[in-house]
Structure 1
């Protein structure tokens, strides 16, 4: 069980204990924040955090949810929506690097979708009647390797169109698309937290690729929420506004696609903000 999963177990214990005593360092800021909340809000937050902690503890005990892909315990529509989002996140940060002229650095982000994710969704694509797009991913990676700008732009548009069509196919078979989107956003945020943690060693970014991956995932989560914003605002405008605030604070950890000399936010701060975002998402469910 990696560190970010332990946070949830400790956080649940902290909330039960009251003041966060005995919780991991990553969990204590959020536990204290809950204790300082108004009585009614604190009670609701405790309930949400305990449900989240129990859920994550169960996944961790089963060895699920570590790294990209995986998630055999997830419903097929959620697993597919999450993995399509992770692919989009890779493309987002890869495109930022291409636009900055950093083609070689971008290359890995166009290989990851096929190497880490596509194999896991091939069966789900078939189940949902979505045409395969492995060949389109391969062509896109080849244009990046060749650094052919015009061919790249066309190949990128093709893959993005296929991803949009895949999302639409899932949405057409989903009774509650905003709810599924929120579930997928939770998965994407947690994956981003894990990638960010993996990037840092001795207070520095040692695995820049993981920093960049996590940036792409955060940006993708933001886009996913914006796409269902009217539904979320209608359901709970206050929670949606609070969620936007947490995401804005969270994004400060990734000032650009090029990693800063040292982390703007440490791991505990990033995981704490993800935890707070998860509480607000819980209010929108």
Structure 2
């Protein structure tokens, strides 16, 4: 599993390209395990200007992206569960708690939010321990409600939400590039992660508040179209063997969506 090193560096790299232009409105993440609430966006090369630090305690766009990656893991995990790929589903259910949630605990406290450690663990345990489907689905719904209670999306500008979507897609592209290489499936888990992140990025557009959605109608519509055009990159949740997939299309979509956000 490459996630601890690769995903977070990917976010750092995309942030490095956007931070100078926008004073940190893209969506970086914390390093799993270390769980700092403030961190440098990307390592500096000699002679480079230092990028501003990103504070998950106050940066809603970064915070929303972190929550989005948790949702993405859960989305694809439940999709696999519903399709009967139980062992794959178990793997995806473990990762949000093991690798993502710790990076948010300080931010929850700083924001006066309850977090959702208990329902996250409850869902994971119910899948891992082969509880009945009714229990699993009930636990999933309860967890989604708990995540929603911690998300700032209703109070965010359309621009910041769409920038968060762009960053999610950039990481999805990083995942996809590891999952599909040289015309074959090399890591199905990473491919699946990318699928989940893409789905949550698309879903986020439906939750932009009404006033902001009216103001940014054209950018939201174009963003939705750009993401929908990626659908053929994921014809199945469980590809095997030879598989033609092009992560550059996802990178291109992320860049296009960033431009749409900055046009608002």
Shorter-chain TM-score range:
0.7 to 0.9
1:88 aligned partner? 71
1:151 is aligned to 2:131: no
TM-score (norm 2): 0.75
2 CA distance for matches of 1:236 and 1:92? Answer: 27
1:140-219 alignment, distance < 5 Å? 140-148=123-131, 149-167=133-151, 170-171=152-153, 174=155, 176-219=156-199
TM-score (norm 1): 0.70
Could you say what secondary structure the match of 2:238 adopts? coil
1:1-285 alignment, distance < 5 Å? 51=21, 59-62=41-44, 73-76=54-57, 77-148=60-131, 149-167=133-151, 170-171=152-153, 174=155, 176-228=156-208, 230-231=210-211, 233-259=213-239, 261-284=241-264
Kindly name which structure, 1 or 2, has the bigger radius of gyration based on alpha carbons.
Answer: 1
Distance of aligned partners of 1:216 and 1:6 in 2 relative to their CA distance in 1, 3 Å threshold: closer
Could you say what secondary structure the match of 1:153 adopts? helix
C-alpha deviations, 1:54-92, integer Å up to 9, x for none? Answer: 999x944449xxxxxxx9625533332111111111111
Structure 2: gaps spanning 5 or more residues: 27-39, 46-51
With 104-113 and 237-246 compared, the bigger mean Cα shift is at 237-246
Could you say what secondary structure the match of 1:166 adopts? coil
Q: Alpha-carbon deviation of 1:264?
A: 4.5
Distance of aligned partners of 1:267 and 1:171 in 2 relative to their CA distance in 1, 3 Å threshold: closer
2 CA distance for matches of 1:102 and 1:248? Answer: 25
Equivalent pairs counted in the alignment come to 233
Distance of aligned partners of 1:115 and 1:72 in 2 relative to their CA distance in 1, 3 Å threshold: farther
Q: Alpha-carbon deviation of 1:109?
A: 0.9
Is the CA contact 1:192–1:217 (under 8 Å) kept in the aligned structure 2?
yes
Which structure shows the bigger proportion of residues in helix conformation?
1
2 CA distance for matches of 1:72 and 1:6? Answer: 11
Distance of aligned partners of 1:229 and 1:252 in 2 relative to their CA distance in 1, 3 Å threshold: farther
Q: Alpha-carbon deviation of 1:259?
A: 2.7
Could you say what secondary structure the match of 1:73 adopts? strand
Structure 1: gaps spanning 5 or more residues: 13-47, 64-70
